[in-house]
Amino acid sequence: MPELQLLRFDHATALLEFERENRAYFAASVPDRGDSYFAYFDDRHHALMDEQAEGGCFFHVLVGSEGDVLGRVNLVDVEDGSAELGYRIAQRAAGRGLATAAVREVCELAANEYGVTTLRAVTTLDNLGSRTVLARTGFVLAGEIPVDGRPGLRFLRTTPPMTSPGRP
């Protein structure tokens, strides 16, 4: 079973391979990252690690048994107990429940480790797989929103803050 890991510097090579291998697949449902993302990947990876160290984002990779990246689940714009959730799963790993399991795990981490109780997510209207993952992991429809010029949907998930034992 793949393992969800907080992004580290040593994930860079496998993450770049994941993004290159799945670029066309992802572009069918989410905006393409563009050529500069790949040309300056090392700089971008270091910038992400800096953002994560500052607590403004939490980036996760889903790592397979061979050390390959099968997906990523990110929390960005972390502020005041809320964050934006984004995720993508490799084409070769799609349809196996990995996205649902990984998103569920990140939702738990968000509430229990990162102090994030409200999560936002968006997807295009035609991305049934993503809509299904969000519904299975406790997100509720919150309205319509354009996504890169395409019809899209906004979703929210709220988790009550954890309380200490013996406290209300």
pLDDT tens readout for residues 25-53: 998 888 788 899 999 999 999 999 999 99
| Residue 107 to residue 84: CA distance in whole angstroms | 11
pLDDT at 28: 84
pLDDT at 22: 96
Q: What angle do CA 150, 132, 114 make, to 5 degrees?
A: 95
| Residue 3 to residue 107: CA distance in whole angstroms | 15
Q: Which CATH class, in words, describes the domain spanning 3-158? A: alpha beta
Find out whether 123 and 152 touch, Cβ atoms under 8 Å: yes
| Residue 12 to residue 115: CA distance in whole angstroms | 27
pLDDT at 167: 37
Neighbouring C-beta atoms of residue 11, cutoff 10 Å: 21
Q: What share of the chain is helix, strand, coil (3-state, %, to 5)?
A: 40, 30, 30
Task: Render the burial of 82-110: b for 16+ CB within 10 Å, e for the rest.
Answer: bbebbbbbbeebbeeebbbbbbbbbbebb
pLDDT at 147: 87
Give the pLDDT means over successive 10-residue stretches in the chain (168 positions): 95 97 90 90 95 96 96 97 96 95 96 95 92 96 91 92 46
**Rounded-to-10 torsion of CA 24, 25, 28, 33:** -60
pTM: 0.90
- The β-bridge relationship of strands 118-124 and 82-89 is parallel
Tokens standing for residue 31: 């905006």
The residue ranges of every structural domain in the chain are: 3-158
What is the phi/psi pair of residue 4, to 5°?
-80, 125
